[in-house]
Amino acid sequence: AQTIHQWPVAEIKAVGSPLSLGCTIKGKSSPNLYWYWQATGGTLQQLFYSITVGQVESVVQLNLSASRPKDDQFILSTEKLLLSHSGFYLCAWSWQYYAEQFFGPGTRLTVL
């Protein structure tokens, strides 16, 4: 069975500080990977997707970047956090183009 793990569970960071969030998928080779952002009480906004190692496409610009250093790992980062980055970050995977997505437990980010 496939499992998806996100780290950390929660972060409290200062404005202007750097950030790195991670996501790992086990039990599935070459998954499509996605990052989403969810404002408190809001809907999901797709940020990035990756279909293979080293290749990441941006869907919306939020002063964030993403990388896929390994087949099973997806990283979301920024060098300088903004207040508007606060929210819930979700990683997801799918087994093929437009197949159903499976979500990780999420990371709660609070920027002060």
Residues at the interface with another protein (CB under 8 A): 32, 34, 42-46, 49, 51, 57, 59, 90, 92, 97-106, 108
Q: Residue type for 52, please?
A: T
Shortest spacing between CB 13 and another protein, in angstroms = 19
Nearer to another protein, 32 or 78 (CB): 32
Shortest spacing between CB 70 and another protein, in angstroms = 20
- Among 34, 37, 71, 64, residue whose Cα is nearest residue 50: 34
Nearer to another protein, 24 or 45 (CB): 45
Collect all residues with Cβ–Cβ distance below 8 Å to 89 and sequence separation of at least 6: 6, 21, 35, 36, 37, 38, 76, 106, 107, 109
Shortest spacing between CB 93 and another protein, in angstroms = 12
Nearer to another protein, 16 or 52 (CB): 52
How do beta strands 107-111 and 10-13 pair?
A: parallel
81 close to 13: Cβ distance less than 8 angstroms: yes
Shortest spacing between CB 79 and another protein, in angstroms = 26
Nearer to another protein, 78 or 101 (CB): 101
Apex CA 28: angle with CA 23 and CA 32, to 5°?
Answer: 60
